[in-house]
Amino acid sequence: MFENSTNQMIVTMLAEGNPVWFVAAMVNMRSHDVYMIGRAAGYPDKAQLRRAVWANRNRTRAAA
């Protein structure tokens, strides 16, 4: 779901309840871009964001 660590950090911060403008300032991005990343993960539903973060952290990788 998350393309890179920055996107993961954005979703995590939004799930923790930080406002979009604050997250945008912390990652040096436009608020609109942060909002779109969060929206793809379920923003503004913080419960859905937490589930997305949890699923990403606990995803198991198949053995190669």
- Residue 4 DSSP class: S
The first and second tokens of residue 40, run together, are 């793809």
pLDDT level of residue 9 (50, 70, 90 thresholds): very high
Reported pTM:
0.79
| 11-25 confidence digits (pLDDT tens) | 999 999 999 999 999
| Residues in contact with 19: Cβ distance below 8 Å, sequence separation at least 6, in sequence order | none
DSSP string, 1-59: ---SHHHHHHHHHHHTT--HHHHHHHHT--HHHHHHHHHHHTTT-HHHHHHHHHHHHTP
- Percent of all residues in the chain with a pLDDT value above 90, rounded to a whole number: 52
